[in-house]
């Protein structure tokens, strides 16, 4: 089987329909990401595939610390819980105030405002 990319005229030689799909999609993603007929679809595919990968930044797994004010399990405290991407870990920091928790967080993180849709006990998150 031989197929031409209409956008850049590259030729691919898949051996089956399945392989055509894989080769054509990877070609499009690599070279024509911003082409209007694909950009929205590819963004959806990237969002979806993020669920199936743990993303590393500079060799480190992306970590997110979510800070909670007076959660059910520590009703008097501020608590930060560590997630690796969207997967919870057992790491937890406990403090009496938001300032105290912020000081306990590892360095090099970036603050993310809470989303109005977040659970009311969520104060903010830190990503790194
Ligand atoms: Zn092309």
For residue range 42-79, what is the model confidence (pLDDT) as tens digits? Answer: 888 888 887 777 677 777 778 999 999 999 999 999 99
Q: Both 39 and 92 in a single domain?
A: no
Q: Both 83 and 101 in a single domain?
A: yes
State mean pLDDT over 88-95: 95
CA geometry: angle 62, 64, 70, nearest 5 deg: 170
Name the CA radius of gyration of the chain, rounded.
22
Q: Both 46 and 60 in a single domain?
A: no
Q: Both 72 and 123 in a single domain?
A: yes
Contacts 24+ apart (CB under 8 A), 7-10: 7/31, 7/32, 7/35, 8/32
Determine the distance separating the centroid of ligand 1 and the alpha carbon of 45, expressed in angstroms: 19
| pLDDT for 68 | 97
Determine the distance separating the centroid of ligand 1 and the alpha carbon of 27, expressed in angstroms: 6
Q: Both 122 and 92 in a single domain?
A: yes
Number of domains in the chain: 2
Q: Both 34 and 62 in a single domain?
A: no
Residues with CB under 5 A from ligand 1 (ion): 5, 7-8, 10, 31
Parent domain of 121: 56-127
Q: Exposed e or buried b for every residue in 53-82, given b needs 16+ CB within 10 A?
A: eeeeeeeeeebbbbbbbeeeeeeebbbbbb
CA geometry: angle 21, 45, 52, nearest 5 deg: 105
Q: Both 34 and 69 in a single domain?
A: no
Q: Both 26 and 83 in a single domain?
A: no
For residue range 5-40, what is the model confidence (pLDDT) as tens digits? Answer: 999 999 999 999 999 999 998 998 888 888 888 888
Q: Both 64 and 119 in a single domain?
A: yes
């Amino acid at each position: 089987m031989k197929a031409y990319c209409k956008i850049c005229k590259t030729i691919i030689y898949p051996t089956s329909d399945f392989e055509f799909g894989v080769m054509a999609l990877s070609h499009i993603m690599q070279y024509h990401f911003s082409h209007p007929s694909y950009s929205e679809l590819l963004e959806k595919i990237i969002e979806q595939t993020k669920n199936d990968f743990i993303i590393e930044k500079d060799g480190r797994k992306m970590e997110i610390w979510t800070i909670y004010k007076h959660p059910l399990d520590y009703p008097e405290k501020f608590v930060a819980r560590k997630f690796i991407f969207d997967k919870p870990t057992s790491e937890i920091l406990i403090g009496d105030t938001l300032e105290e928790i912020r000081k306990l967080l590892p360095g090099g993180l970036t603050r993310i405002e809470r989303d109005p849709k977040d659970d009311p006990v969520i104060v903010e998150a830190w990503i790194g």
